[in-house]
Amino acid sequence: MNIESIDYTTKIPNNVNLAEDRQVLRALESWHPGYIDWWMEMGPEGFQQALVYLRTAVSVDPKGWAKFDYVKMPEYRWGILLAPKEEDRKIPFGHHYGEPAWQDVPGEYRAMLRRLVVIQGDTEPASVEQQRHLGKTAPSLYDLRNVFQVNVEEGRHLWAMVYILQKYFGRDGREEAAELLQRRSGSADKPRMLGAFNEATPDWLSFYMFTFFTDRDGKMQLESLAQSGFDPLSRTCRFMLTEEAHHMFVGETGVGRTIQRTCEAMKAAGIEDPYDIERVRKLGVIDLPTIQKKLNLHYSLSLDLFGSEVSTNAANAFNASLKGRFQETKIEDDHRLEHSIYPVLKLVDGEIKRVDEPALTAVNMRLRDDYTADCQRGLDRWNKVIGRTGVNFKLELPHVGFHRQIGEFKDVKITPAGVIVDEGTWNRDIGKWLPSKDDGDFIVSLMQPVSEPGKFADWIAPPRIGIDNKPGDFEYVRIAA
Ligand SMILES: [Fe+2]
Ligand SMILES: [Fe+2]
């Protein structure tokens, strides 16, 4: 079988020759009904019968890998798709640097590897759960289609991790796969594993911020797992990244279009002061200071996903050649990090200081720095949108110590500008930095659904181009009667 072609004759589309891998096929087929039950219960509410113009992967060739068509979401062909095998791939980092990549799980690292796969796997269905109510308030059919595309692909990412668990981890892999369908975002007794994936996504601005900031954390995690010495994990993550690019796009353009509409409305109404919040809100658009607050919230929640700045777990995973750095193969160093250092922001005697730490224990910090740089590029583009309209306002990433629950700064209060403050000041000013209940209520009040093809809610600008080059009035979702 051609490695780039996908077998759609089995119930589970795949390019891993499942037809001849009977045991794994059986395991996946017995997991399938539970997955569909989960999708029906926790997937997009109210739209399971709608026909959605979705892309489905038909190849793992980066050029032309997807085809678009109308699909009912429960009938989406979730498949097992690995990027093509690189012949003679060598492990690019860690203790096993330079050795041939592993095709089987190395026994000594089995538990660590399984944990990495389970944590990644847990985030995928979590975001579907978080976003399941959004369909009812979509600002257009275009946006409605986009959230559903993200949802079905997160579902496929769950399949991707479940395949790894079931193929390579035997009975405990099957148990973990079953549990991935049991935890629920936000649940008190069986929550998802990571904090940001238990937060609510109450409105569309939250959704765009989530796809910009939290899916971008996902991208960074996938990038570092794509470097893994365990080749099947590397290959599966490489293909997931192909899909992930669209999620980044949805987030960045979603926020960008929101900003654009706000600025245009301000200009048209002759409002010069972005902080004249009452007048701006009367125009039915989201004021820029509130957008900044939403950004502060989602950025800080996402930073927590990188774990502690200094971490022996992270060092162990790097040393074991299981989880590398962002673009590991492009970095010019020894890829072992046994003797190198990396600067880490820490709290030293009540002050925020940069301290040199062994690079090995600072790999989380490094990944997070790469993430911050990637976020900043997006903000620069948003600021250009603002700049083009002539409004005088600039969005900024808050200090990395702001509003943290994990790591160096979890026990202190730090302002977005990076100043340590006491509890009293924090409580007094928090409403300037994070969205208040009133801010949330205002945003929710704008979330009136628009379902006429080519029409958009008043708080958001239309996109510049359609999905799959479709015209502006294309009916991206045919909502069932
Ligand atoms: Fe994903
Ligand atoms: Fe994603």
Residue extents of the structural domains in the chain = 18-478
To which H or E segment does residue 387 belong? helix 363-389
Give whole-number Cα distances, 26 to 20, 23, 31, 156, in Å: 11, 5, 9, 18
| Bridge partners (DSSP) listed for residue 341 | 358
Tell me how far the alpha carbon of residue 159 lies from the centroid of ligand 2, in angstroms: 13
* Residues 105/168, Cβ–Cβ less than 8 Å: yes
Give me the pLDDT at residue 273, please.
98
- In this predicted structure, the answer to whether residue 183 has a pLDDT above a threshold of 70 is yes
- In this predicted structure, the answer to whether residue 185 has a pLDDT above a threshold of 80 is yes
Q: Would you state the structure tokens that stand for residue 419, as one six-digit string?
A: 């100043």
Q: Report the C-alpha gap between 462 and 74 in whole angstroms.
A: 28
Tell me how far the alpha carbon of residue 121 lies from the centroid of ligand 2, in angstroms: 12
| pLDDT bucket at 65, cuts 50 / 70 / 90 | confident
| pLDDT bucket at 481, cuts 50 / 70 / 90 | low
Q: Over pLDDT 70: what percentage of the chain?
A: 99
Weakest-pLDDT range from 18-27, 143-152, 204-213, 270-279? 18-27
Tell me how far the alpha carbon of residue 425 lies from the centroid of ligand 1, in angstroms: 38
Q: Report the C-alpha gap between 181 and 39 in whole angstroms.
A: 9
- In 3D, which of 82, 76, 42, 176 has the Cα closest to residue 122? 176
Q: Report the C-alpha gap between 185 and 199 in whole angstroms.
A: 7
Q: Report the C-alpha gap between 419 and 52 in whole angstroms.
A: 48
Residues constituting the chain? 481
Half-sphere exposure of 137 (CA within 13 A, CB side): 20
- In 3D, which of 262, 369, 349 has the Cα closest to residue 306? 369
pLDDT digits (tens, 9 = 90+) for 280-322: 999 999 999 999 999 999 999 999 999 999 999 999 999 999 9
To which H or E segment does residue 413 belong? strand 413-414
Q: Report the C-alpha gap between 453 and 475 in whole angstroms.
A: 5
Tell me how far the alpha carbon of residue 154 lies from the centroid of ligand 1, in angstroms: 4
From the CA of 150, which ligand is nearest?
A: 2
Tell me how far the alpha carbon of residue 124 lies from the centroid of ligand 1, in angstroms: 5
Residue pointed to by tokens 């590991």? 328
The strand pair at 341-348 and 51-57 is best described as unpaired
Give me the pLDDT at residue 1, please.
43
**The CATH number fitting domain 18-478, selected from 3.30.360.10, 3.40.50.1820, 1.10.620.20, 2.30.30.100:** 1.10.620.20
Tell me how far the alpha carbon of residue 157 lies from the centroid of ligand 1, in angstroms: 5
From the CA of 149, which ligand is nearest?
A: 2
Taking residues 382-395, report their average pLDDT.
97
Taking residues 150-175, report their average pLDDT.
97
- In this predicted structure, the answer to whether residue 57 has a pLDDT above a threshold of 90 is no
Q: Report the C-alpha gap between 383 and 404 in whole angstroms.
A: 25
Tell me how far the alpha carbon of residue 85 lies from the centroid of ligand 2, in angstroms: 23
To which H or E segment does residue 261 belong? helix 231-269
Q: Report the C-alpha gap between 167 and 6 in whole angstroms.
A: 18
- In 3D, which of 204, 286, 218 has the Cα closest to residue 251? 204
Taking residues 406-421, report their average pLDDT.
97
Task: List helix spans (H) across 82-214.
Answer: 110-130, 141-168, 170-180, 204-209
| Bridge partners (DSSP) listed for residue 71 | 52
Tell me how far the alpha carbon of residue 234 lies from the centroid of ligand 1, in angstroms: 15
3-class SS of residue 30: helix
Tell me how far the alpha carbon of residue 153 lies from the centroid of ligand 1, in angstroms: 7
From the CA of 161, which ligand is nearest?
A: 1
Tell me how far the alpha carbon of residue 166 lies from the centroid of ligand 2, in angstroms: 22
Tell me how far the alpha carbon of residue 137 lies from the centroid of ligand 1, in angstroms: 23
Q: Report the C-alpha gap between 14 and 19 in whole angstroms.
A: 9
| pLDDT bucket at 10, cuts 50 / 70 / 90 | confident
CA dihedral 2, 4, 8, 13 (to 10 degrees): 120
| pLDDT bucket at 480, cuts 50 / 70 / 90 | confident
Q: Would you state the structure tokens that stand for residue 164, as one six-digit string?
A: 């790894």
Q: Report the C-alpha gap between 58 and 6 in whole angstroms.
A: 6
Q: What is the mean pLDDT of the chain?
A: 96
pLDDT digits (tens, 9 = 90+) for 216-243: 999 999 999 999 999 999 999 999 999 9
- Letter for the amino acid at 273? D
Q: Report the C-alpha gap between 379 and 386 in whole angstroms.
A: 10
pLDDT digits (tens, 9 = 90+) for 70-88: 999 999 999 999 999 999 9
Q: Would you state the structure tokens that stand for residue 55, as one six-digit string?
A: 């892309």
E strands along 282-373, which residues?
341-348, 351-358
- In 3D, which of 47, 13, 70 has the Cα closest to residue 128? 47
